[in-house]
């Protein structure tokens, strides 16, 4: 190989324009009548398509509103019905409590208070209390159940002492009565 230098290849300098092109000037909008036929056709088609999409969107919005309104009204009716049923149950329970209170205030024994309260009529405390007095007077007053009396030997020779329920005194008393 030889030691001779190779000539350097140089590229010619590119011609660079002295000015850079700026944005195109904005022209005044043209009236649709001044546009060429193909542009007017494209504009009409685009406007028709946009109108169709607007109509579809409005129909979908109205259908969704109608569906949601119907569902909401159905749920509202169910909740309102449940609320009214709960209110009715609460009112009945309050009247029942007033009846029991009136029965106890009329000195009805606790064992008979619920049965006595079921006989009472009225919706206000005054009506229920007045009816409790009437019912108590009608039945001659309600008294406590008589206490059970113990078994007593009522034979002429008996001394009216309570007998034991088990053992010889009861057996002896029965034998005497039966003559065994």
Asked if residue 148 is part of any domain, the answer here is: no
The pLDDT score that the predictor gives to residue 50 is 95
Whether 43 is in a domain gets the answer yes
* Residue 94 is assigned to a structural domain of this protein: yes
d(CA 123, CA 95): 6
pLDDT tens readout for residues 119-153: 899 889 999 999 988 888 887 655 555 455 555 55
Answer yes or no: is 24 within a domain.
no
In a domain, 98, yes or no: yes
Give the tens place of pLDDT for each residue, 20-41.
555 555 556 567 778 889 988 9
Segments forming the whole domain that contains residue 66: 35-138
* Residue at 61 is within a domain: yes
Average pLDDT over residues 49-74: 96
In a domain, 44, yes or no: yes
Total count of domains within the chain: 1
Is position 154 within any domain?
no
Cβ burial of 103 (10 Å; 0-12, 13-18, 19+) is buried
**pLDDT number for residue 136:** 86
């Amino acid at each position: 190989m030889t030691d001779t230098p190779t000539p350097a290849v140089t590229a010619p300098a590119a011609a660079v324009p002295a000015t850079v092109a700026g944005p195109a000037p904005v022209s005044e909008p043209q009236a649709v009548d001044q546009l060429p036929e193909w542009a007017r056709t494209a504009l009409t088609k685009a406007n028709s398509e946009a109108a169709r999409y607007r109509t579809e969107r409005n129909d979908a919005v109205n259908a969704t509103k109608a569906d949601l309104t119907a569902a909401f009204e159905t749920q509202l009716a169910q909740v309102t019905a449940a609320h009214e049923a709960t209110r009715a149950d609460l009112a009945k329970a309050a009247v029942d409590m007033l009846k029991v209170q009136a029965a106890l205030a009329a000195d009805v024994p606790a064992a008979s208070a619920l049965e006595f309260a079921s006989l009472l009529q009225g919706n206000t405390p005054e009506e229920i209390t007045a009816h409790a007095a009437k019912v108590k007077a009608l039945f001659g007053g309600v008294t406590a159940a008589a206490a059970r009396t113990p078994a007593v030997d009522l034979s002429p020779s008996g001394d009216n002492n309570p007998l034991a329920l088990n053992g010889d005194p009861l057996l002896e008393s029965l034998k005497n009565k039966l003559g065994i």
